[in-house]
Amino acid sequence: MDQERPLKDALVDSANVDQCGGGVSPCSRSPCQNSAACVEDPGSLHGYTCHCSEGYSGVNCQHKPGVCNMIQPCQNGGACVGEGHDYTCLCPIGYTGQHCEHVVHKIGASAAFNEHSWVELNRTLLPQEAGIPQVISLELRTRRPNSLLLWYGQDPTVRGQGQDYISIAVKDGFVEFGYELGGGPTLLRSKSRVDDGQFHTLRVERTGQQGILILDREAPQAAQSPGQLHMLNTDGNIYIGEWCIQTELLHSHHHLFVYFKV
């Protein structure tokens, strides 16, 4: 039975799809909201620029006037996100507090996170050389059964599906160390749960296709990635701390040490 359904409702994923019939003005779709004026701008990402009414902001002027753009409450270069009276300051590294007003004197000792925070570390902290293990050590204490602790993959502007990555997560209470080198994903999982509010020590290593996970005093678990590829091809940085409350960062060559505490 044929049914007519809007194409966009059935889409799962897409890339670089544009509308047919070149020459149609990007402003003809009326992308600008809240009485903003639309001006064609071939040099911009979307082909147009919205000139917002007083107090509105955002690419399409979709953000209503609020604390963010009226009093700009975030200090020390913090970015304000939110609408109306509901806002959050995203503080640059080295600052914390509701308005980024507190200086963090010793990042190496502790960095405070909330559930919307993360740290982006330069990928050069975890270099790759043939035959030398990439080692990541964690100490974590959590009662959360699901959290992403570390992600090292492609640049966020690049489509990451099927691309190389390293990830460390707590899934259903167990630690999972995953990586992809191009031949298919590999996943190592701890035998014990870690979401018991106690401290746990985790060490993961990757040397070529070989991966090792060691949790506390468990016997090391090892796996070999499928296929023939053995290089980790990543151009993004290392992200940690999405759901973590405190971390301590130390590093030496090829070894990243992260300390998580909830």
- For 170, other C-beta atoms within 10 Å of its C-beta total 25
Find the shortest distance in angstroms from Cβ 214 to Ca ion.
24
**For Ca ion, which residue has the nearest CB?**
182
Distance CA(14)–CA(245), nearest Å, equals 35
Q: Which of residues 197-236 bind Ca ion (CB under 5 A)?
A: 229, 231, 233
Taking the least distance from each CB to Ca ion, the nearer of 121 and 181 is 181
Taking the least distance from each CB to Ca ion, the nearer of 232 and 240 is 232
Q: Which of residues 171-190 bind Ca ion (CB under 5 A)?
A: 181-182
> CA nearest 243: which of 144, 167, 139?
144
Q: How many residues bind Ca ion (CB under 5 A)?
A: 6
For residue 239, what are its two tokens? 């992200």
> CA nearest 255: which of 134, 167, 124?
134
Distance CA(219)–CA(190), nearest Å, equals 10
Regarding 163 and contact with Ca ion (CB under 5 A), the answer is no
Taking the least distance from each CB to Ca ion, the nearer of 145 and 162 is 162
> Coil, strand, or helix at residue 67?
helix
Taking the least distance from each CB to Ca ion, the nearer of 165 and 259 is 165
Cβ neighbours of residue 229 under 8 Å, at least 6 residues apart?
A: 181, 182, 183, 209
Q: Which of residues 44-63 bind Ca ion (CB under 5 A)?
A: none
Residues binding Ca ion (CB under 5 A): 164, 181-182, 229, 231, 233
